Structure 1
């Protein structure tokens, strides 16, 4: 398993921006956006890999991982 698989990646539709927005909570703020959901996810995965590479190059410890925390079901309880 790659290190990037340890971080939750979210792609969701933004009514405000009228496009799909990709983010990786816990690893970085911001993300990417576009009109094609699959393309946004692919770009998001690349950004996560690049971010992890930058952490390694700078000798910084990675933030706590977010995968495996069952966020989807936790979010449903707020809906």
Structure 2
């Protein structure tokens, strides 16, 4: 398994912006695009780049949050 595989990521449509938004809350705020399938691949590439940069700098990776909405509930 690649390090990026463990992080929650998703694609959703933004009615306001009229584009798809790709997010990985533990690593990046988001990217956008017109095609959700292409965007998911780009999101995975960006996540890999962020992980590589963190590791090259000797920094720890952020903890994996499987369900961030549960952590914020209650």
Q: Give the CA deviation at 1:28.
A: 2.0
- Deviation track 1:44-75 (CA, whole Å, cap 9, x = no partner) reads 00000000000011100110012xx3x3x95x
Q: Secondary structure at the match of 2:22?
A: strand
Q: Where does residue 26 of structure 1 map in the other structure?
A: 26
Instruction: Show structure 1 runs of 5+ residues with no match.
Output: 75-79
Instruction: Show structure 2 runs of 5+ residues with no match.
Output: none
Distance 1:62 1:14 in 2: 29
TM-score, with structure 1 as normaliser = 0.80
After superposition, the CA RMSD in angstroms is 1.7
Distance 1:12 1:59 in 2: 32
